[in-house]
A = this chain, B = another copy of it.
Amino acid sequence: GVRDRKVGDRVVVSCISACGSCSYCREARYGQCLSGGGWVLGHTINGVQAELVRVPFGDLSTYVLPVGLDPGTAVLLADILPTAYEVGVLSAGVSPGDTVVIVGAGPVGLAAVATARLYSPAHIIVVDRDAARLQAAKGLGADITLDAATDVLAGVQEVTGGLGAHVAFEAVGLPETFELCTTVLRPGGRVANIGVHGKPATLHLESLWIKDITITTGLVDTRTTPRLLDLVASGQLEVDSIITHRFGFDEMAEAYDVFSRPQDSGALKVVMFR
């Protein structure tokens, strides 16, 4: 049963549930829960675009909204903000003065721009094919944007005196963009894979074995969700611009149509309100 939530609480329902007591949960690796938690909602059971929902392990899977937090913004806390922060920024260890390359300016890539900024990197270079998304990246704090059709490696080398980036985030989910991430790094660099992949990628160990590279993958644990909620509520983390459209429940068909045509509609995240 639920112990910590009360009737009437306004909560974020997280994409990750957690039993709280298995060996992974005991290390705060909730995404890898062995006892019926992990990525359940929207994956092994239906998601929550619904008027009522039963949330597994409710205490560890929901978060009470801080006073004053816009419920639309809060939706970003259900998945993409902790994903970008934990699987990207924290796994890669972004540090002040780093040059960070983010490949892919969809919602998760943009959330990575916003959360990487918390660590004051020297440069955030965002790569995408879509000019509008690159523009959105600038609004969230990227200082350099590169069209994916150009010579990205040359662009990164120019910024870094030929040495390469400290950190690269894969936020697309394709083999080519993953390879690009490993190419733009300096020795000692870190690639954090955030994208969801359906195919294998080529890992160029013939050049990478000697370069002190670290590659991380991951499913979000949402262990940072409480802290991110506070950072958003206090205004230190501004991510509202990732939400491009807001609809009522009675406009669901239109919402899905807009979301399915991002190139035309300019949709990033589309939020529906009951």
What are 13 sample pairs from A and B whose C-beta atoms fall under 8 A apart?
A1-B1, A20-B59, A26-B223, A97-B230, A119-B119, A119-B120, A122-B236, A196-B210, A197-B209, A199-B206, A209-B217, A214-B215, A214-B216
A244 interface residue per 8 A CB criterion: no
Other-chain residue from B24, B32, B203 in contact with A200 (beta carbon distance below 8 A): B203
A206 close to B198 (CB less than 8 A): yes
B210 close to A4 (CB less than 8 A): no
A217 close to B211 (CB less than 8 A): yes
A3 proximity list for chain B (CB < 8 A) = 19, 21
A188 interface residue per 8 A CB criterion: yes
A218 to B23, CA, bound (A): 22
A50 proximity list for chain B (CB < 8 A) = none
Other-chain residue from B59, B119, B175 in contact with A21 (beta carbon distance below 8 A): B59
Interface size counted on chain A using CB atoms at 8 A: 64
Chain B proximity mask over A151-178: 1 for CB below 8 Å, otherwise 0: 0000000000000000000000101001
A122 close to B217 (CB less than 8 A): no
Chain B proximity mask over A54-97: 1 for CB below 8 Å, otherwise 0: 00000110000000000000000000000000000000000011
Chain B proximity mask over A221-243: 1 for CB below 8 Å, otherwise 0: 00100111011001010000000
A28 to B26, CA, bound (A): 6
Other-chain residue from B59, B122, B227 in contact with A97 (beta carbon distance below 8 A): B227
A31 interface residue per 8 A CB criterion: yes
Other-chain residue from B19, B97, B212 in contact with A231 (beta carbon distance below 8 A): B97
A20 close to B20 (CB less than 8 A): yes
Q: Which residue of B lies closest to A23 (CB)?
A: B226
